[in-house]
Amino acid sequence: MVIKNVNLETVCGYTSTLPDNTLPEVAFAGKSNVGKSSLINALMNRKALARTSAQPGKTQTINYYNINEEIYLVDLPGYGFAKVSEAEKKKWGEMIEKYLHTSKQLKKVFLLIDIRHKPSANDKMMYDWIVYQGFEPVIVATKLDKLKRSQVQKQIKILKEGLELKKGTTLIPFSSISKQGREEIWAIMDEIVDT
C-alpha cells in the first residue's frame, strides 16, 4: 500500500465506548515495552506519531490510526507491566479483552513477542486467548537487531515452543530499527484491504 495519509483518529480509555468502525482493523498486542508503538511507526513510516518510551506502560489507551481511509492500525496497551497497581493491571487487561472480544471489524491480531526472551506466562495466556476468540494470530518477534544472526534460529525455536504455536502459524522476525519484516506485515494487511 502506498501510504498517503495517516491520522490518529480515535483514542479510547477504560470507560470509552469503542468506535463502530466500518473500515477493517488490525491490532497489535503484546507485553509492555515489546515494541508495539515502534512497530506501528515503522509500518506508517513515521518517526513518532505513535508515542514510544523506554519506560514500560507508555500506551495506556486504545489508539486507532486511520491509514488512507482504508484500514485502521490499532495500538493496544501492553500487559504484564509489573510497576502498576493490581487495579490498573486489571483495567488494562479488561480493555484489551473487551476490544478483542467486541470489535466487529477486527480482521487480524498481531501478537508481539521479544525475540530475545522465552515467552512469559502472560504471553502464553494472551496467545491462547486470541486463539480462543477465533483469531489466527500472526506472531511478530521484535527487536531482531538486538540478536546476533547466529542466535536467531535458536530464539525462534524457544518462542515457538514457549507459546506452543499451532502448526502453520506465521512468525515474522522484525526490527523497528532495520525495518526487517515490515514488507511481510504489510503484505498481510494489503490482503485484508483488498478483500
Q: One-letter amino acid identity for 49?
A: L
How many other β-carbons are positioned within 10 Å of the β-carbon of residue 162? 17
Candidate residues 57, 84, 89, 135; the one interacting with ligand GTP per rule CB under 6 A: 57
**In a 10 Å sphere around its CB, with 0-12 CB exposed, 13-18 middle and 19+ buried, how is residue 33 labelled?**
buried
Distance in angstroms between the alpha carbons of the first and the last residue of the chain:
14
Candidate residues 109, 175, 185, 189; the one interacting with ligand GTP per rule CB under 6 A: 175
Q: One-letter amino acid identity for 149?
A: R
> Does position 143 bind ligand GTP by CB under 6 A?
yes
Residue, CB closest to ligand GTP:
78
Candidate residues 26, 27, 29, 34; the one interacting with ligand GTP per rule CB under 6 A: 34
Candidate residues 9, 19, 44, 56; the one interacting with ligand GTP per rule CB under 6 A: 56
How many other β-carbons are positioned within 10 Å of the β-carbon of residue 115? 25
Nearer to ligand GTP by Cβ, of 36 and 107: the residue is: 36
> Does position 63 bind ligand GTP by CB under 6 A?
no
How many other β-carbons are positioned within 10 Å of the β-carbon of residue 36? 31
Candidate residues 21, 103, 155, 176; the one interacting with ligand GTP per rule CB under 6 A: 176
**Total residues contacting ligand GTP (rule CB under 6 A)?**
24
Binders of ligand GTP among residues 101 to 130 (CB under 6 A) are: none
Q: For residues 123-132, b (16+ Cβ closer than 10 Å) or e, as one string? A: beebbebbbe
Residues of this chain that interact with Mg ion (CB under 5 A) are 36-37, 58-59
